[in-house]
Structure 1
Amino acid sequence: MAEVLGPLFFECTWDDLTFYKMEGRYFVRKKSRLTREKVLHHPAFAKTRFYANRLAVASKIAAAIYSDLPLHWRQFWMYRDFTGEAINRLNQEATPQEAYDYLWKTYVEYWVLYQQATGIPLQTGRKQQPVKRPKDYKTRLKHRNSNPKCCRYRRLIGRNHWKSSYDNTAELLEKERKRQAREKKLRWLEDQHRKGRYKAQEERWRKMQAKLLELPPEIRLILQSA
């Protein structure tokens, strides 16, 4: 690390050098070779991953405690303090459930007893999740079957088409109509070609039968026996 004295000052990375500002002074250092893959998988960063996971667990515990507090009383700095206390409990070999129970008895139990004693409900930050009925079919399929525009779209491009019912623009419909017409014409040409080939074979067979009947009986018997 070296200090930059001027006359130009930067806050960026240039080639293998990183220019940055710290406490009102400008410094330059060599660019770090640290990557995301190295932090996630290298054994040297095992403790970093361990404490990062512990911080994630502690933040979830703090969020649960913070959401149970009354809205008129809680402040955001409490969330940070709850996170620190949860980390301390986890560092003391406590389980996440034990850390949650400790914080709940310390900060939330008072308000629960207060509501029971006074009968005054307190509004907390925890959201009341409505009970949702499980869907037996996809919403898109329901929309496709109930919307009359989608019914017209389905009749035009086919029932099992992959496109969504929201793609029923005039341009897409016209392209799909032309594609189906082109495929129909190709199938018709193939059928005609097949019919013509069979017809030509039948015609050749009839000519051969006619020529065979014109031959004398002795030669006809020899050809049939062969």
Structure 2
Amino acid sequence: MAARSYGQYCGVTTAVELVGERWALLIIRDLLVGPRRYTDLKQGLPRIPTNILSARLKELQDAGVVRRVPLSHRGLVYELTAFGCELEPIVLALGRWGFAAMGEPEPDDIVTADSLTMALRTAFRPDAAAALPTTGYDLHVGDVGLRARVRGDALAVRRLDAGAGTGADAVIVAGPEIRGIISGELHPDDALARGLVTVAHGDTALLGRFATTFHIDPAAAAA
């Protein structure tokens, strides 16, 4: 448990004491994507001081949220325990709640593969996807590339390896404007016409399917 105590006997208090320290939830966000080495976590959170990263990992391990385990050729990695994995719906709900207040990115804001993966998982609408054909998307946002496959009400996302062939139905290239597509504030046809988003491979109509499959209504999130 973190050193700070709020001195209250309450489940919310205990949760905040366990995972409420600065950077802790972002470490958990990245570990929800998969096990990570210390260097992977540092690369994904470039602004975190190394001493803070070490301290947070130790606190999360002591709390039973994270454990350190050997993973074949990757050596020692950090992964979430079963207790830590229970945070997934909470983190996704926080992502939807925060989406309404994101606004425009600052000049030095970055998008990482893990943050974009969790953004897609946050915005995924399994009910809408279940009514659509199986579709594979290669999504490029800045320097980050992901491959998302939607089959029925299931979503699988992985990092797109450099030089990987085009195995997707649609290759979507975007910048921060992808948020407008997900929010519905930017219509896919308008985004294409203005050159804000491009479909580099596949039928451009698949951008509309993407917008249906991945959607967060900011007004509903803020309500």
Is TM more than 0.5 here?
no
Q: Which has the higher contact order (CA 8 A, sep 6+)?
A: 2
TM-score, L = length of structure 2: 0.22
Q: Which protein shows a greater Rg?
A: 1
More strand by share: 2
